[in-house]
A = this chain, B = another copy of it.
Amino acid sequence: MQSLFKEFEEILPLSAEESEIIESKIRFSIVKRKGFLLKEGCVCKHYTFVIKGCFKMYGVDDRGFSHNIQFAAEGDWIADIGSFYTQTASKLNIEALEYSEIYQISQPDLYWLFVEVNKVNRMFKVISESNFVEIQNRVLQNFSSTAEQRYLSFLEQYPHLSNRLPNTQIASYLGITPEFLSKIRKGLSKKGL
């Protein structure tokens, strides 16, 4: 369970006792490719930490098209925060893009940990906040940049994911069609990128 909270431990080290309490509430689990952590209409009951593998979180519009709003790979946390905190039906799906291994904490257990181990409360506050900042920046960026610019910043921000994900998934994240992404990639390679 080394990788969990690694970044945080550098700032806020956990005592042996705290680690033990946290570990007692965490469940290991395996998810097959195309397996779901969350389906639209269900309540998001777990916060998930990705040990190995990769997930996409996406919504489906009224014409039946999927739109990726977030990816999560090794070391990332994923949940529909809105549904998780309010325990109401989610509009989103979380699906494995590869064979994956995860840790999960259930909503009641996490709330119990918030009280028992105050550091956990602070950790998850930071996770939610950085999630918020990221999505807010995305709204701002989508307003003012072309698909090519958005693709370039995606490559910069997620270099490990760009080689690993099919372009259809990246296109869905960028809000364009795979055909247009293909056109962009062609244009970039002509420019020598």
| This chain: copies in complex | 2
| The one of B62, B91, B135 that contacts A135, using a Cβ cutoff of 8 Å | B135
Query: Which residues of chain B have C-beta atoms less than 8 A from A145's C-beta?
Result: 61
Q: Which residues 101-148 of A sit at the B interface, judged by CB distance below 8 A?
A: 125, 128-129, 131-133, 135-140, 142-145
The answer to the question of A24 belonging to the interface, with a C-beta cut-off of 8 Å to chain B, is no
Separation in Å of the A176 CB from the closest CB of chain B? 10
Contact check, B67 vs A143: say whether CB atoms are below 8 A apart.
Answer: yes
C-alpha spacing A67/B144, complex, angstroms: 8
The answer to whether A138 touches B140 (Cβ under 8 A) is no
Which size class do A's interface residues fall under? 20 to 34
> Cβ of A69 and Cβ of B140 under 8 Å apart?
yes
Flag the segment in A26-34, A46-54, A81-89, A153-161 that touches B: A81-89
Residue of B nearest to A82 (CB): B133
Chain B residues, Cβ within 8 Å of A81: 129, 132-133, 136
A interface list, Cβ under 8 A from B: 59, 61-63, 65, 67, 69, 81-82, 85-86, 91, 125, 128-129, 131-133, 135-140, 142-145, 175
